[in-house]
């Protein structure tokens, strides 16, 4: 059989007693030609991509620290302004508010 398909060859190899010796040899030759190992078969499979692990529970997101002003930490990290010195009118207002709160 010159034009033997791989499925026919498998059938012959599975049942060699039903076929002649030459047919079995031809079937084995057909299967050998179809079972050529390619480069893809030799390379190991690639590792699957995994999802990044989430942060552990219980950790609270914190604001970014911007810097220090008036001996306190402030959160202006992108160019915000913090007044270092209060004007005379602002100082009077702060004292008045503190006095009102005491009453």
Better pLDDT: 39 or 8: 8
State residue 57's pLDDT score: 79
Q: What is the pLDDT of residues 68-83, one digit of tens each?
A: 766 777 666 666 666 6
At 63 the pLDDT is 66
CA separation for the pair 42, 21 (Å, rounded): 33
**E strands along the chain, which residues?**
67-69, 72-74
Q: What would the pLDDT profile of 13-50 be if each residue is shown by its tens digit?
A: 888 888 999 999 999 888 888 777 667 777 777 888 88
Q: Which among 38, 4, 36, 34 is positioned nearest to 19, based on CA atoms? A: 4
pLDDT of 1 > 60? The answer is: no
């Amino acid at each position: 059989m010159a034009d033997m398909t791989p499925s026919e060859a498998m059938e012959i190899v599975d049942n060699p007693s039903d076929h002649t010796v030459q047919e079995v040899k031809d079937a084995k030759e057909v299967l050998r030609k179809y079972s050529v190992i390619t480069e893809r078969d030799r390379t190991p499979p690639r590792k699957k991509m995994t999802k990044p692990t989430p942060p552990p529970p219980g950790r609270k997101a914190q604001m970014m620290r911007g810097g220090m002003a008036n001996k306190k930490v402030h959160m202006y990290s992108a160019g915000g302004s913090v007044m270092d010195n209060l004007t005379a009118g602002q100082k009077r207002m702060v004292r008045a508010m503190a006095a009102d709160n005491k009453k």
